[in-house]
Structure 1
């Protein structure tokens, strides 16, 4: 049996790599919007493109067991609706009504929600370090996004941000539950397929001007062929990022992986600083340090030794 401490270390690396890939999606996703897509159309291209990549790969590699998919179909549909479509849809609704920093902070309340769910709904013990790590992440995140800048109350926007947090929490909880029975590639292939169908009425891809995909657009001040931008958003910032994230959850746990995933915001700020020249304030630097410290504390909550437990196949209900 592999040493649990080694699993925790590899899980930390995978979780940070996933967060980095997701954080790097900002400039490229913005480029698609600048090229002429609406935000929801850019999200739909990201999700539908991921499904088009993943489904053939899963079939060709023989990774999908249709019997397993059929047995876990309700959970996989819920995963697609909440963990994929819900996060994106509610987040974009939130940022259309409230400042981006506030929307990000609300979405990344997910680690706290996960800790509360595991402790009070599952009635499972949660290491104190995981709880302290989640609290530190929220404080650090508030400093990084500077929540106090342009704060205003909007009930719809705040509700959408909280809904995005619930959906974000569902990604970690459902991934943790389903990964015992369903291969990560199969899980995400099903999730993106369900999400693409669910978001289609809102994105209205049949009315989009797809000719913009064959031109060029600006990324970090440089002209880039738009198909390369789409390729990055789909393959790196979605397929690789989410698949690696699911593997990280397998090695850590939903509460711990959720806390570490919050570093996505820090990566996004750092990449914007490097690529776009956006300056960092002292409070953002301090907040980033607190956020990383919280993620490290949470990662340390994974016990060094733990007996291997075979979990039953995932089902809903």
Structure 2
């Protein structure tokens, strides 16, 4: 009961900070490195994006997220740990009248995770391995308390530069040793099959426009083709070729939205040889052809 009381107290404190620092509907980057606040006022609103490795905690409301090919239900005091860059589709729901969806998340530092895992191995700190790239569970009270100390720095800007790096490192450690830490340990322990998949993902991101020959990719990360396929599917929910297509489409969307590129130019920049094929696959991914999707997104963004 004491643990639940503490979780309730930190939840309320975090909600107050998020509400105070989110002027409207959306995702807000804070002055604290890697920390974001989320506030969604619209019910049954679906967002699609390509997420980076992160830890997210729901403070209020409910959402259904599809990461990879798995569906996750998140509600108050649920925590999702995502260890890989992946396609995400989230539907925000409201169960009570006038209730908003509130959450916060921080991006994971891959280098920090690898360093901490090496230290954990030196000291024989136990962990629960996982073959997947994502995990959802109840938030640990220690993680919630640490998140509160990080979030309250938003109102103490003069302390951010010194305190935030220490708290973020502590958060990474607490997640690693927590109930969901096996997801990250399996991915960022040097020499593991899952870490080889992380190396493959990094290569695909850095060479998004280049043709993909899976046999060559497998050699680069020192795996057999069958092993790469199996572990890549476990971690991301997709095959390497499917994953590359997702990367290309989301990067093309970013180019059109952020850099005002025409669809034909964006298609070529991400590696498509046929604009017709690009338009067809873009509509299949996002539900609208590129021009119409951009019009809706820009109208929504600029109000």
Per the shorter chain, which TM-score range?
A: under 0.3
Structure ranking higher on relative contact order (CA contacts 8 Å, 6+ apart): 1
- Structure (1/2) with the larger strand percentage: 2
> Rg larger in 1 or in 2?
2
- Structure (1/2) with the larger helix percentage: 1
